[in-house]
């Protein structure tokens, strides 16, 4: 009897320790995400990056950094990303490569436009200046992403942009960034992009679940090993 109780106590303590440790791990993940979010917010407040700075350190710490770049659009290589919701409406995103002064190329996510439900043809292209342009935006590691059932195609309407695969069409390896355009020059497209989700609330939720499970294990042990037997003896 004593051996059984000791074993039950050991299993209970092991379960409580394991679930509590997992809860603490999730809190640690949440703290890491908060620190990362603070870094991104600091990057958003920094002065705008120039093409010279970007090209000098193309893989630098530029995530969410605002940049002002000058160059010419490459409309012959632009594409639409399909099935992109915005304000509860379905639509498409326009991506156009921008050739910077000096020859480097960066993809620009220029904006979103609505489309009629059930329409799957390539949308009409908005006007694209055939002159030098100034583009303001924020740097991201990729364009808007959506779940794809299979490999990406090569047409004008796609699910996602593969930066590495776009090299063959561009004739040059693009910079490892996508500039999400902001400002009034996006018109007639919309570029009021949502703020990046840090995911911290997800980890807080997981932590709460693990701590609740630890409390449940402890509560069940106390009930079945102490409170219930004590009641039965009355």
Per-residue pLDDT of the chain (234 residues; tens, 9 = 90+): 566 778 888 889 999 999 999 999 998 888 887 777 777 676 667 689 999 999 999 999 999 999 999 999 999 999 999 989 998 899 999 999 999 988 999 999 999 999 877 777 888 899 899 999 999 999 999 999 887 765 666 689 999 999 999 999 999 999 999 999 999 999 999 999 987 776 788 888 999 999 999 999 999 888 888 777 777 776
User: Is 71 a domain residue?
Assistant: yes
Strands 79-81 and 91-100 come out as antiparallel
Dig out the tokens for 59 from the structure. 């893989």
Instruction: Name the one residue in this structure whose structure tokens are 């480097």.
Output: 104
Same domain, 161 and 206: no
Q: Determine contact, residues 96/180, Cβ cutoff 8 Å.
A: no
| Any domain includes 10 | no
Residue 91 resides in a domain: yes
Map tokens 């489309």 to a residue: 115
Domain annotation covers residue 8 = no
Residue 122: inside a domain: no
Looking at the structure of the chain, the number of domains it has is 2
Question: Are 167 and 113 members of one domain?
Answer: yes
Domain boundaries, position 211: 199-229
* Whether residue 102 sits in one domain with residue 210: no
∠ CA 130-186-193, rounded to 5°: 145
The answer on 217 and 166 residing in a single domain is no
Q: What is the Cα 213 distance to its own chain's centre?
A: 30
Are residues 144 and 171 both part of a single domain? yes
d(CA 220, CA 229): 13
Do 203 and 113 have their domain in common?
Answer: no
Asked whether residue 62 falls in the same domain as residue 102, the answer is yes
Strand-pair partners of 80: 94, 157
Q: Is residue 220 part of a domain?
A: yes
Q: Are 81 and 143 in contact (CB under 8 A)?
A: yes
State whether 67 and 172 are in the same domain.
Answer: yes
153 with 177, same domain: the answer is yes
Position 18 in a domain:
no
């Amino acid at each position: 009897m004593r051996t059984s109780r000791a074993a039950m106590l050991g299993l209970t303590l092991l379960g409580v320790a394991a679930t509590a440790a997992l809860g603490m791990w999730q809190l640690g993940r949440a703290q890491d995400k908060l620190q990362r979010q603070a870094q991104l917010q600091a990057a958003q407040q920094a002065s705008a990056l120039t093409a010279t700075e970007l090209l000098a350190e193309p893989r630098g710490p530029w995530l969410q950094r605002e940049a002002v770049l000058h160059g010419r659009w490459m409309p012959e290589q632009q594409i639409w990303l399909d099935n992109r919701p915005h304000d509860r409406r379905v639509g498409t995103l326009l991506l156009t490569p921008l050739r910077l002064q000096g020859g480097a190329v960066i993809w620009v996510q220029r904006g979103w436009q609505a489309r009629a439900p059930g329409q799957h043809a390539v949308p009409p292209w908005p006007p694209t200046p055939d002159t030098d342009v100034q583009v303001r935006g924020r740097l991201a590691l990729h364009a808007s992403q959506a779940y794809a059932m299979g490999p990406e195609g090569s047409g004008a309407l796609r699910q996602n942009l593969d930066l590495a695969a776009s090299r063959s069409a561009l004739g040059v390896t693009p910079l490892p960034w996508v500039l999400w355009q902001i400002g009034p020059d996006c018109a007639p497209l919309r570029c009021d992009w949502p703020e990046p989700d840090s995911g911290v609330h997800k980890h807080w939720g997981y932590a709460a679940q693990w701590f609740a499970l630890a409390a449940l294990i402890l509560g069940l042990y106390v009930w079945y090993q102490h409170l219930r037997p004590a009641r039965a003896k009355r």
